[in-house]
Amino acid sequence: MITSPHNEKLKLVRRLRSRQTRTREGLFVAEGEDLVAAAAAARAEPVALLRAGEDVAPELLAAVSALGSGTRVLGIYRQRWSEPHGSLSVYLHGVGDPGNVGAAIRSAHALADGPVVLGPGCADPYAPKAVRASMGSIFARPPARGELTKLPGRKVALDPRAKRTLAEVEVDDSVVVLAGAEREGLPGEVLEAADERARIPIRPDGPESLNVAMAVTVALYEVARRMARHV
Q: Give me the residues that bind a second copy (CB under 8 A), please.
A: 103, 106-107, 109-113, 135-137, 140, 167, 200-203, 205-207, 209-211, 213-214, 217-218, 221-222, 224-225, 228
Could you give the CA distance from residue 178 to residue 175 in angstroms, rounded to a whole number? 10
Looking at the Cβ atoms of 10 and 111, the one nearer to a second copy is: 111
Residue 68 CB coordination number (10 Å): 9
- Residue 37 Cβ vs a second copy, minimum distance, rounded to whole Å: 11
**Could you tell me whether strands 154-158 and 73-78 are parallel, antiparallel, or unpaired per DSSP bridges?**
unpaired
- Residue 138 Cβ vs a second copy, minimum distance, rounded to whole Å: 11
- Residue 87 Cβ vs a second copy, minimum distance, rounded to whole Å: 12
Looking at the Cβ atoms of 68 and 207, the one nearer to a second copy is: 207
- Residue 230 Cβ vs a second copy, minimum distance, rounded to whole Å: 14
Residue type, 210: L
- Residue 153 Cβ vs a second copy, minimum distance, rounded to whole Å: 17
Looking at the Cβ atoms of 50 and 103, the one nearer to a second copy is: 103
Looking at the Cβ atoms of 32 and 56, the one nearer to a second copy is: 32
Looking at the Cβ atoms of 148 and 166, the one nearer to a second copy is: 166
Looking at the Cβ atoms of 10 and 102, the one nearer to a second copy is: 102
For 82-110, b/e burial (b = at least 16 CB within 10 A) is bebbbbbbbbbbbbebbbbbbbbbbbbbe
Q: Closest Cα partner for 28 from 102, 92, 89?
A: 102
Which H helix or E strand runs over 145? strand 144-145
Could you give the CA distance from residue 169 to residue 198 in angstroms, rounded to a whole number? 7
- Residue 1 Cβ vs a second copy, minimum distance, rounded to whole Å: 32
Q: Closest Cα partner for 141 from 171, 120, 118, 174?
A: 118
Contact 27, 76 (CB under 8 A): yes
